Amino acid sequence: MVRQSQIALSFLGMSACAFLFIVWRELSIFPWDSIQWIAAYMVLSVGFLSALTIVSMLWLLFFAALMLVAIVLSALFVLLVM
């Protein structure tokens, strides 16, 4: 559980850094008249972050299920051999 929260926090940090970089580039290229571009980037970055977080959580659940299946199968194999 701790590992999943660490991965989610790392995605949050990466998205925040990317968003701040995009805002800084946008403001340095186009001054304050381009607030609609900043709003669009904000919406896109939040959507991208949520998609990445959902996909990463699904992958973690998939690998946890695979590990559980491997443990159960190895236990059954040990019981059958004995």
Give the amino acid at 65: A
**Per-residue DSSP letter, 1:** -
pTM for this model (two decimals):
0.40
How far apart, in whole angstroms, are the C-alpha atoms of residue 57 and residue 14?
A: 16
Q: pLDDT tens for residues 7-55?
A: 666 766 777 767 767 667 666 665 555 666 666 666 666 666 666 666 6
Sign for the CA dihedral angle at 8, 10, 16, 21 comes to: negative
